[in-house]
Structure 1
Amino acid sequence: MNVAVFAPELKAVDVHFTAGGQWRSAPLTELTDGIHHGVVSGLGEGSRYGFWPRGGQVKHRQLLVDPYARAITDDGGIFHSVFVEPGFDWDGARPPQVPWRDTVIYECHVKGQTMLHPQIPAELRGTYAGLAHPVMVEYLLNLGITSVQLLPVHFHLDEPHLQELGLSNYWGYNTLGFFAPHEAYATAAARRAGPKAVLDEFKTMVKTLHEAGLEVILDVVYNHTAEGGKHQRTYSYRGLADHAYYRHEVHGNYLDTTGCGNTLNLNEPRVRQLVVDSLRYWIEEFQIDGFRFDLAVSLARDGNNHFDPNHPFLQAVAADPVVSRAKLISEPWDVGPGGWQTGNFPQGWADWNDRFRDAARSFWLEDANALNHGGSGSSVARLASCLAGSAEVFSGSGRGPLASVNFVTAHDGFTLADLTAFDRKHNEDNGEENRDGSNYNRSYNHGVEGATGDSAVLDARARAARNLMATLLLSLGVPMITAGDELGRTQHGNNNVYCQDNELSWLHWLPDDRQEQMFRTTRRLLRIRRIFLANQPYGYPATEHGSYLLWFNEAGEPMTQDQWTDPSSRTVQLLMGSPNGSIDGLVVVNGRLEPRKILMPSSAALRDFGVAENHGRTFELLLTTSDYDDRRRGARIASGEREIIGANSISIYRA
């Protein structure tokens, strides 16, 4: 076997490996451009191995893990690389290649998604195989999403402080191996059978989801490694090439823009190559459809620690014929100076749009809280910008609405239900005296903190959740739903469950009537989205009137500048049009505390905007987030006629 490892800071390297049940060692006799390499006899399929400076004492010590290891095992707290031959029968399964314009992302955790599901066999719950079980596949298809985005599945470790507290890194943002799937998410049977069986179970999950037409996107953490700060345990990179793999400041200390103790140095060509090789491996060997890059700004900081949209890493991704075709999603911030870069990534990338999150929460929750206490809210302009795809955020980089990954919640923060039920975070279970997690969530408990039996409070919370979900799913851009939000999942006010590998984080699958209603609403909204946005060109201008999105006030006339900026003007009508001059749908937003009488857009107003004479004469109510949804669904209102929109609600019509 030819063995090679990048270790320019070591004078000589040995490889230690198992063969015939015994540990052996062999020198890597050649050194080329910082790479130690050599031909080793006896290292084959299933061999455990690791690297060590020649002559170093390895007994009871951690061998250095291969950065390119395809599998990693935990042997009682000692981690070994494992050699695994590639190969898997995909039986003709191919990636679905869902266009960006049709994509609906569902962010979930491999373990938490199925751990409590009563219809999935106990031995499959919480595993790759469990996620691919027919019950789960049917659920995802029934909901209407297109792409499953998995929280980190690369082999990861628990931080020392969590181990001291008896907790674990449930989310998995602490990677040790960028080529190895996390073996703990495989079934017990696969783990007993060995690393190859673990890889095959992962590939079978992807194959099954692809056969159902569902994409698989991985949340990847290339910004730091599990080695943490300089005084924490060395597992691999630090022992091989500390100054090459990690960023350092002028005094030799780690330059940390991740908050995790270290930052990978993608200004180093070999480190950049490692990341691109890893991405290509997951695409070619596992058929992965895309990646969401954690703290992506740290990947593109130059030698002066400034974000560079032309950074060599971003250019390498764009130039790679395999990686460039995948869905590439940035988390466009980190904790370093100038760390907020939403909208500034280059073409070919989509960004998590935190402005969308903040605007939606502020309009439906923070403003409602202020209005209920005698204050004032914001105008409807920021929310309208969200519905229109956040042009002001992305146009500067030459990108349109499809560069905006819209979200109201994510794994990090309150769930959708908790946004409506808690004014404050409640993270005491995390062992940090409630200091962790964000203190500013733009949430509103509607008068009672946490659980309550007050039906009026529960109704108001449910309506707010529906408003937020409707805003998310009716906006231009790419929506991302956090797993469980469609079921009203609660974390009981904990907005940072990264260390809670228990029922607080796992999805519960016995919903009550209110949660069932939330699921039905989400599913209907996704169906309406497919109808309304089917003909949207997703580019910023369209007709001679400038847009396929037409805005009207509550009198059915075009919005004026004063109405856009007036905080008391919290009602707007949005017509979604098509290139042929027809109307696909009408969305009416009422952000006031009382119902509003409006006039539907008149035929004259529609003509003024170039809408064809034979379109838009009558509007059929498809869904309203108000409490009277089922009673009025199917009602028809003609152009120019009066309609009542419920307090704090959205009504959706088909033309």
Structure 2
Amino acid sequence: MWPGSPAPLGAHWDGTGTNFALWSAGASAVDLCLFDPDGTESRHRLQETTHQVWHGRLAGVGPGQRYGYRVHGPYDPGAGSRWNPAKLLLDPYARAVDGELALDPALFGFRPDGVDAASPDPRDSAPFVPRGVVVHDSFPWDGDRRPATPWSDTVIYEVHVKGATMRHPDVPPALRGTYAGLAHPAFVEHLQSLGVTAVELLPVHQFVSEPHLLRRGLTNYWGYNTLGYFAPHAGYSSAGSGGAQVTEFKAMVKALHAAGIEVVLDVVYNHTAEGDSTGPTLSLRGIDNPGYYRLDGANRARYTDYTGCGNTLDVRRPQVLAMLMDSLRYWVTEMHVDGFRFDLAAALARSMHDVDRLSAFFDVVHQDPVVSQVKLIAEPWDIGEGGYQVGNFPPLWTEWNGKYRDTVRDVWSGARVGVRDLAYRLTGSSDLYRSDGRRPFASVNFVTAHDGFPMADLVTYEHKRNEANGEDNRDGESHNRNWNCGVEGPTDDPEVTALRARQVRNHLATLLLSTGVPMLTAGDELGRTQGGNNNAYCQDNEISWIDWEAVDGELLEFVSRLVAVRRGAPVLRQEAFFEGHEIPGTGGTRDVAWFAPGGGQLTTAEWFDGGLQTVGMYLDGRGIRHRDARGRRVVDDSYLVQLHAGPDPVTVHLPGPPWADGYEFVVSTEYPTGVPPRPAVVAPGPIEVPARCVWLLRVLRRP
């Protein structure tokens, strides 16, 4: 064992040996544990410590070597100290992980019998926990072209690596459910035909299943239970877990980039897989518990939990913040990803107790020359007091707009909410994002996500059916702001079936015709169902996987058509907020105008009428405020979006000159593929809009 270097942290091979470095402020000693192919363990005491980093170099140790740590120190849970050398610990900087977590009493650092809580559990956990792998990867990135799609042109597709292709008949069986499966032409071509520009992958950092799930014979499918922030999840690799998962992940990214598709990762830096005070000791808890986690000030044996997952990482501490930033930079520079969606991001912004827009987390992200240049998406809430922060993240950040989801669901479920709030959501939510200088693309608009009902279930079930999760249907959201179209669950009634299909189209049309960044949930364009389960986090089976044999082809055509219309219409994806001002030289039209069913612009009374369920949104393509890269004004066609959420048909008056001399139907949700029958051109004046329907009309003007 040579002295080695305290930097960089982790295990790094230099061609003849490997340097190991681990931060622990409170440890009294650190043993590096190497494992032979047969599992035989050899221990090497790290003799050097520099600035709280324990380090050493072993000649002859190279790529493929499995390793872990045993860290010595005081065991006093009441003081927050949980060092226990009987527990093999994963290097937080490990770039690959091998082995599964096996449920065994040895995983836990405390005495489970409770007889002597002050004494550490002496059983060796090594046979039951994953190990790190020394990795050296020389992936050929030559020719990789990052799409760098502007925010205003972005269409996000939230997708699970495994669920995307596990049932895809055109993906070879050996590749299904893997990074290679996601990169297979059969799936990539689907993304291209759909027109999405970015995939947002549910967590791909190495994760494990919680003990309570393992006891019920279930697993954590979504992956929001991170164990290693630098390692791609080995379970998604078709090539094994000896480091090949790193190469396979990079090949997936390169293939998606070649197809013009960005890769955004859903990352979970708010908590770890070690859970609450009764959870297993797998990594950070045994390395330096008080140095990594927020401990309860009144009882340091417990954790402050803003996440609902048992613990919260203490991002206020320099070493934790450094680990987070090192991880982000690694995934951008080494793995070539294009952005991140931060799970429960409000937990990262808490300074002492409150969510703080000036926290160290924001400061470091904003000044970082690498991370500040990629797409940054916040899930702007956590479960703590004051944790709902939609609209309150600072510039550079976009946000999952939970208010958009709630408003659109309310409108189409028949709630009497009027059109005022809907108008804000359709036009980029200026009430949330304008005051601090952000643009409409700060709003990531969505109606469904992985968490909750998929679109087909949103219009089929009013009550969750989560019995398969083993929690007596207590888990999952009970208030989903949805409507089952009059019948609970599947039905053979053709009228109900047709209504449900139209309601799906209404939700998707609203989403794709709104200013901001639309996010589609994988499978919603195909009619995917989860059978009423709105919390399928533990369902690694047909409940969650996309069924490619049961594809709604008409719905897929409808969504693809709408995405293409959006892509070709700058007025539908503007980079600046609407002003509502008159456009010079147009005879009095405005960049955006709102019309009541009678044909006049909405009055103040109508804006605040909670019973109004019909509105026309006029977008004038001559009033676009942004310019192209050469400074030229962007001019587009003008459109009228006519939205009617009422249960009965309604007669509306389409505005005439100067607004329009006629209208051409582009999309109508009345029809399965959105294509209305001919004639497609209508004159201004009265026209009947069917019940629960969205029209997109292109404005026609005489030369």
- Normalising by structure 2, we get a TM-score of 0.86
Secondary structure (helix, strand or coil) at the match of 2:157 reads: strand
Q: Tell me if the contact between 1:307 and 1:338 (Cα under 8 Å) persists in the aligned partners.
A: yes
In the aligned structure 1, how far is the partner of 2:567 from the partner of 2:395?
A: 25
Look up the equivalent residue of 1:63 and give its one-letter code: L
Matched, 1:395 2:434: yes
- After superposition, the Cα gap between the structure-2 partners of 1:30 and 1:346, relative to the gap in structure 1 and judged at 3 Å, is same
Counterpart for residue 249 of structure 2: 202
CA–CA distance in structure 1, aligned partners of residues 73 and 480 of structure 2? 54
Determine the C-alpha separation between the residues in 2 that align with 1:396 and 1:433.
45
- 1:535 deviates by 7.2
Amino acid in structure 2 at the alignment position of 1:216: V
> What's the counterpart of residue 51 of structure 1?
69
- Which residue in the other structure is 1:293 paired with? 342
Q: What residue is the counterpart of 1:29 in the other structure? A: 47
Please give the root-mean-square deviation of Cα atoms over the aligned residues, in Å. Answer: 2.1
Given candidates 488, 502, 506, the residue that maps to 2:545 is: 506
Q: Which residue number in structure 1 is paired with residue 632 of structure 2?
A: none
Where 1:155 maps in the other structure, the secondary structure is strand
Q: More deviation in 420-429 or 389-398?
A: 389-398
Find the counterpart in structure 2 of residue 641 from structure 1: 685
Q: Structure 1 residues 86, 424: closer, same or farther in 2, change over 3 A? A: same
- Alpha carbons of structure 1 residues 257 and 643: separation in structure 2 relative to 1, 3 Å: same
Query: Counterpart in 2 of 1:279?
Result: 328
**Does 2:453 align with 1:417?**
no
Contact in 2 for aligned 1:394/1:401 (Cα 8 Å): yes
Q: Distance in 2 between matches of 1:459 and 1:438?
A: 27
What is aligned with 2:649? 595
Q: Which residue of 2 aligns with 1:312?
A: 360
Shift of 1:59: 13
Query: What stretches of structure 2 of length at least 5 have no aligned partner?
Result: 1-17, 75-82, 101-126, 584-589, 624-634
The answer as to 2:544 corresponding to 1:527 is no
**How far 1:532 moved relative to its partner?**
2.9
- Residue 29 (structure 2) aligns with: 12
Greater Cα offset, 535-544 or 428-437: 535-544
Shift of 1:177: 0.1
Paired position in structure 1 for 2:278: 231
* Equivalent in the alignment of 1:120: 171
Deviation string 1:89-126 (CA, Å, 9 cap, x unpaired) is 02311211011000000001001000001111111111
Displacement after TM superposition at 1:401 (Å)? 1.2
How far apart in 2 are the matches of 1:564 and 1:179? 50
Partner of 2:404: 356
Which residue in the other structure is 1:625 paired with? 669
Q: Cα offset for 1:540? A: 2.4
TM-score, normalization by structure 1: 0.92
1:519-558, Cα deviation, whole Å (9 max, x unpaired)? 1111111112123335754212457438622222223321
SS of the aligned residue for 2:247 comes to helix
One-letter code of the match for 1:391? Answer: S
Q: Which amino acid aligns with 1:433?
A: D
For 2:665 and 2:391, the matched residues in 1 are separated by: 35
Alignment: residue pair count: 628
CA offsets 1:412-465 (integer angstroms, 9 cap, x no match): 001111110111001000000000000000111111110100000011111111
Identity level (%): 46
Kept in 2, the 8 Å contact 1:403–1:477? The answer is: yes
Q: 1:452-482: per-residue Cα shift (whole Å, max 9, x none)?
A: 0000001111111111001100001100000
Q: How does 1:63-212 map to 2 (within 5 A)?
A: 63-74=88-99, 77-187=128-238, 190-191=239-240, 194-212=241-259
Deviation at 1:19, TM superposition (A): 6.5
CA, structure 1 residues 623+248, in 2 after alignment: closer, same or farther (shift >3 Å)?
same
3-state SS of the aligned residue for 1:573? strand
Query: Residue 102 and residue 55 in structure 1: after superposition, are their counterparts in 2 closer, same or farther (change >3 A)?
Result: closer
Give the letter aligned to residue 95 of structure 2: R
Distance of 1:145 and 1:491 partners within structure 2: 23
Shift of residue 634, structure 1, vs aligned partner: 5.2
Q: CA deviation at 1:577?
A: 1.8
Tell me the CA shift for residue 50 of structure 1: 1.3
How much does 1:385 deviate? 1.5
State the SS of the aligned residue for 1:198. helix
Instruction: Tell me the SS of whatever aligns to 2:290.
Output: helix
Residue 221 (structure 1) shift: 0.4
8 Å contact from structure 1 (residues 223, 294) kept in 2: yes
Match of 2:15 in 1: none
CA deviations on 1:197-234 (whole Å, 9 max, x unpaired) are 21111111110000000011111000001111122210
2: CA distance, partners of 1:5 / 1:523: 49
Select between 545-554 and 292-301 the one with higher mean Cα deviation. 545-554
Greater helix share, 1 or 2?
Answer: 1
Tell me, in whole angstroms, the C-alpha distance in 2 between the residues paired with 1:77 and 1:16: 15
1:20 CA drift (Å): 8.7
Q: How far does the alpha carbon of each residue in 1:176-202 deviate from its partner, in whole angstroms, 9 at most, with x for none?
A: 000001111111xx10xx533211111
Q: Look up the equivalent residue of 1:560 and give its one-letter code.
A: T
Contact 2:571 2:637 in 1 (8 A): no
Taking the TM superposition and a 5 Å limit, the aligned residue runs for 1:490-501 are 490-501=529-540
> 2:335 is matched by which residue type in structure 1?
F
Asked whether the equivalents of residues 580 and 593 of structure 2 are also in contact (C-alpha less than 8 Å), the reply is no
Deviation at 1:578?
2.6
Structure 1 alignment gaps of length 5 or more? 368-376, 607-615
Aligned ranges 1:322-401 → 2 under 5 Å: 322-367=370-415, 377-401=416-440
Paired with 2:224 and 2:285, the residues of 1 have a C-alpha distance of: 18
1:242 pairs, out of 289, 308, 312, with: 289
Pair 1:558-2:583 in alignment: no
Q: 1:69 to 1:582 in 2, by over 3 A?
A: closer
User: In the alignment, is the contact (CA less than 8 A) between 1:424 and 1:439 conserved in 2?
Assistant: yes
Q: SS at the partner of 1:632?
A: coil
Deviation at 1:135, TM superposition (A): 0.7
Alpha carbons of 1:630 and 1:394: their partners in 2 closer, same or farther (altered >3 Å)? Answer: closer
